[in-house]
Structure 1
Amino acid sequence: MRIAAISDIHGNLAALEAVLADIARRRVDVVVNLGDILSGPLQPRATAARLMPLNFPTIAGNHERQMGCDPARMRPSDRFAHDDITDDQRDWMRALPATLRPVDDVLMVHGTPASDTVLWLDGVSPAGRHAAAHDEVRERAGTAQASLFLCGHTHLPRSMLLDDGRLIVNPGSVGLQAYRDDYPILHKMENGTPHARYAVLERTGGTWTVEHIALAYDWHGAAALAERNGRGDWAYALRTGRMP
């Protein structure tokens, strides 16, 4: 069994096309999408149009949930996407489940099994971001059962094998390699390069192998589009993988 896991596309169609082309040459059995698909000042409508006919197993991220709220209360990235997509695309987005089992013994979540906003493999404090300790990660797993958990949300590619044999993998972000957020406290996530990220998981003999992949694409074009749409912060993140 070979699974390609993509997450946190954020309307970055150029990055998505690079990832899909790379996946096509790897002969995977299934491609799964872990949410935060459209939000951002890039190409939400075109991204939805590209993905919907592919019918990948797909879950909602926190941004899909937030885009179902009152538009007047949305932050700029969600509001841009909300206003850009079609009614059919909005219906597709609203119908996405919070979690999904695409194959036996694999569970897709956005944040953790219990929340789409909790960071699973990372933590934040006034001192900054840190890799979460084993006990923190195991506590956030709770009693959910799977040999492989696929999560997103932090945009950082990471993996951890728990002492009970459960493997948790975050493939990183297809479309946005740095961001700033104020939940649970003000923090920033940075990959340090602008490459599009995803992961390939392969099960052989009951054991999962993880390959984290970083791909070049036209990030300067994506950054220029963000600038034209009034988001210099996104443009800097797209070009550098860092926050200004």
Structure 2
Amino acid sequence: MRIAVISDIHANFPAFEEVMKDIEKQNIDAIYCLGDLVGYNVWPNAIITEIKKRRIPTIAGNHDVKAVKIQDQRNSNDPADLAYLMIKKDLVTYLSTLPAFIRLEFKFSNETVVLLMVHGSPYSNTEYLLEDKPEKDYAAIFTDTAADILICGHSHKPYHRIISDGGASKRYFHAINAGSVGKPKDGKPQACYAIVTFDKCSSAFKKDSIKVEFVRVDYDVEKAAQAIEHSDLPDEFADMLRKAY
């Protein structure tokens, strides 16, 4: 079983398009999206339409929630909020119905392995789970949620960290950040997504039995950056794409 996890597309259609082409080459069984379909660029309607057309299970990112709120109020004078005001009404309705998380349970050799997908953290779509979070604190999240694998986005910085529960059971937890399709922040402008691979021997008690791969995909960064500069959105958003911060 191979699943592709995408996150933080942020209305960057050129990046999304190339990532979808790459996923089609990867023998993927399922695709999931961790949210933040909108914000920062000029193609929110195209992104949402494609996510719906492809029937990709998607959760609500903080920018998706913000878009719904701003559309309801329609009284913002912030130029950055134009990225939300350009979304079509029916697509805003779609954003308003996205779930907060996706939880999957796999059965491998009579063992249940639980995968929890969130945008920020299990507690908030605005909370960052960074790679350097203290191991004890990270382990507590897994214990609290009864998850073995936690995949998040929000920080736009990919990582895979294996955490021991510290007990006699010798159970291992997998903390994964899928990175960002449309707005990387790790100094690498290429789009990023994650592939998680399971097989019949996958187990929470075998440290390396769950494989994680991060795929970087080239796309036309200049096209995406110039689209911002030719719009009423802040030019800084274009600089963020070029320099990946």
Q: TM-score range by the shorter chain?
A: 0.7 to 0.9
Is this contact kept in 2: 1:149–1:167, CA < 8 A?
A: yes
Partner of 1:216: 218
**What amino acid does structure 2 have at the position aligned with 1:82?**
Y
Partner of 2:121: 112
Distance 1:14 1:118, change over 3 A: same
Q: Percent identity?
A: 33
Partner of 1:160: 161
1:60 Cα shift? 0.1
Partner of 1:232: 235
Once the two structures are superposed, the pairs formed by residues 88-99 of structure 1 within 5 Å of their partners are: 88-99=90-101
Figure out how many residues of one structure are paired with residues of the other and give that number.
221
1:56 Cα shift? 1.0
Distance 1:53 1:83, change over 3 A: same
Distance 1:27 1:15, change over 3 A: same
Is this contact kept in 2: 1:7–1:34, CA < 8 A?
A: yes
Gaps of 5+ in 1: 123-130, 179-190
Q: CA RMSD for the aligned pairs?
A: 1.7
Distance in 2, Cα, partners of 1:58 & 1:102:
13
Partner of 2:183: 176
Deviation track 1:120-158 (CA, whole Å, cap 9, x = no partner) reads 124xxxxxxxx2231232244451122221100000001
Distance 1:231 1:29, change over 3 A: same
Is this contact kept in 1: 2:118–2:153, CA < 8 A?
A: yes
1:76 Cα shift? 4.1
Partner of 1:185: none
Partner of 1:186: none
Is this contact kept in 2: 1:67–1:74, CA < 8 A?
A: no
1:103 Cα shift? 5.1
User: Secondary structure of the equivalent of 1:166?
Assistant: strand
Is this contact kept in 2: 1:36–1:64, CA < 8 A?
A: yes
In the alignment, structure 1 residue 50 sits paired with structure 2 residue 47? no
Distance 1:93 1:213, change over 3 A: same
Partner of 1:81: 83
Is this contact kept in 2: 1:41–1:80, CA < 8 A?
A: no
Partner of 1:201: 196
Tell me the TM-score normalised to structure 2 length: 0.84
Deviation track 1:94-114 (CA, whole Å, cap 9, x = no partner) reads 100011125542111011111
Distance in 2, Cα, partners of 1:142 & 1:116:
19
**What amino acid does structure 1 have at the position aligned with 2:127?**
V
Distance in 2, Cα, partners of 1:74 & 1:198:
34
Residue 71 of structure 1 is aligned with which of 69, 74, 86? 74
Distance in 1, Cα, partners of 2:78 & 2:123:
24
User: Secondary structure of the equivalent of 1:60?
Assistant: coil
Distance 1:20 1:173, change over 3 A: same
Larger Rg: 2
Distance in 2, Cα, partners of 1:67 & 1:103:
31
**What amino acid does structure 2 have at the position aligned with 1:115?**
S
Deviation track 1:158-215 (CA, whole Å, cap 9, x = no partner) reads 111121322111110000023xxxxxxxxxxxx1121000010001211210001111
